[in-house]
Structure 1
Amino acid sequence: MISLVVAALAALSAGFLIRALDRRRSRYGVFLLPGVCVAAAMVLWVLLQLGGTGSDPDLHWLVWALPPCAGAVAAVITALAVAPRREARDTAELERVLRL
């Protein structure tokens, strides 16, 4: 169970780090990227536990290492997908409001 806590905290910190490195972070909420990062990490953690890697001494490190990495990848993909769409929508809405 300690691997769950460590994986969750590592994924949360990775999500906040990715948010801090994103130049367009003002386009979406504070907890979007950390939330996506933790959610992806926890899903992978559960899948790894169901796959039996948590009880295998040779593969036990996968339960500690893969979830934060997969969460970070999911957060980067989310940042790349959400920010341009949100920026375009915000610009269109601003132009609509300014034309009134």
Structure 2
Amino acid sequence: MDTVWSLVIDIIVTAGLGFALWAADRRHGKYGIMLPVALGVVVGCFAWIVLIAAGTGYLTGLTWMPWIVPMVLGVAVSFVVTKLVERRREKRDIADLTRVLKG
């Protein structure tokens, strides 16, 4: 039952950090508010499942892995993907605006 609490805490922390990432980004209008949150939670849950299936939650000295690794991976993936989406969306918006202004 202790490992289930690590999943719950990972989800709460990762979602909170996803909201904070969105709020701190000055160009967050290029993507939705749930993109960093959903990415972080999905990646965090998947990483937690893999780590628990590997047995790291029950091995002495490795019990920190299901607590810390999913949070770090979730936030890192949220940050990287939102930056990629932001750049791609900005290029597409500029191209569309240029096309509309020329036509």
Q: Same fold (TM over 0.5)?
A: yes
TM-score norm. by structure 1 comes to 0.90
Q: What stretches of structure 1 of length at least 5 have no aligned partner?
A: none
Rounded Cα–Cα distance in structure 2 between residues aligned with 1:29 and 1:93:
19
Q: Does 1:92 align with 2:92?
A: no
Q: CA deviation at 1:56?
A: 1.8
Q: 1:80 aligns with which of 80, 83, 88?
A: 83
What's the CA shift string for 1:27-83, capped at 9, x where partnerless? 011100111111111111011001101122421111111111111110111122111
Q: What residue in structure 2 maps to residue 68 of structure 1?
A: 71
Equivalence for 2:34: 31
Distance in 2 (CA, whole Å) between partners of 1:80 and 1:56 is 36
SS in 2 for 1:60: coil
**Identity of counterpart residues, as a percentage?**
34
Which of 47, 50, 55 is equivalent to 2:50? 47
Q: How many residues align?
A: 100
Quote the Cα distance in structure 1 between the aligned partners of 2:50 and 2:25: 29
TM-score (structure 2 length as normaliser): 0.88
RMSD: 1.3
